[in-house]
Amino acid sequence: MNTENCPLKTAPCPPTALITGGGGDLAQAIRLELESQGWQVHAPTRTQMDVTDKTQVQAVMGALPRLDLLIHNAGVLSDASMLKMTESDFQQVLQVHLKGAFLTTQAALKLMVKQRQGHIVTIGSFSALSGPVGQANYAAAKAGLIAFTQSLAAEYGPRNIRANCVLPGFLDTRMTRDLLAKHRPEVESRHTLGRLNTAEDAARFIAFLHTLENVSGQVFQLDSRIHRWG
């Protein structure tokens, strides 16, 4: 463990992670997984840190002595058909996913560049690859997040800062529970294994991914839906 930027340099500091959208089921699963491995984890909820508010982001990030892993997990859904989707529906989803990633990444980089190391993981979605009906805003935001992540990896790789995008799959969480109550068989049928991923599985993968120090600029899909590239 690195003692740089540690208040007590006589002893190693635990690695530090910050997970945005900290109140969500996936965020909590990641927090528990990292904490079980000895991490110090900050998982602010939206009321504690609105990722679209630069002042709030800087206040939370600025209070950290160091940051080894940023997980941009904050997200929102506002599904509607194209003609029924309002400008507010479209704007809000892009703001949270893209502007939120931009603001939190900028703040994280100020710490990571000084440390000469760091890892930024963005939480993507299969919707970015498939463009589902009624999710023009969400699919566009998540597709943009992939490009954002890869651009970041290319720019900051020479400074030993990694960036990867994880598509955790269709998880059984509070966000999807109502949908699954009505359409679980249909949803599961789209998976070649006929079952869904779990937040705990995704959390374990993200923790493992962080240990792969030579992996950056990649997109990882964690369920069994098949997408043909190109």
Which pair of tokens denotes residue 67?
């940051």
Out of 102, 126, 138, 156, the active site residue is 138
Cα–Cα dist 121/114, whole Å: 19
Alpha helices in the chain (DSSP H): 25-36, 54-62, 87-94, 100-115, 127-130, 136-156, 177-189, 199-211
SS3 68: coil
* Contact yes or no for 121/153 (Cβ under 8 A): no
The DSSP bridge partners found for residue 161 are 118
Please confirm, yes or no, whether 138 is among the known catalytic residues: yes
Catalytic machinery residues: 138
